[in-house]
Amino acid sequence: MTTKTLTFPLSQNQQPIGIIHWQREFMRVRGWDLPVSGSGKITGDKRAVSMLQTLAQTAVQEQWLDTAPYPTGGYPIIDPLSSDVGMVSILERAGFDMPNELHFIVEAMRGTHHSADVCE
Residue range 22-71, pLDDT digits in tens: 999 999 999 988 999 999 999 999 999 999 999 999 999 999 998 887 66
Per-residue pLDDT tens over the stretch 81-114: 999 989 999 999 999 999 999 888 888 777 764 4
| pLDDT score for 39 | 96
- Cβ-based neighbours of 101, under 8 Å, separated by 6 or more: 6, 7, 8
pTM for the model: 0.85
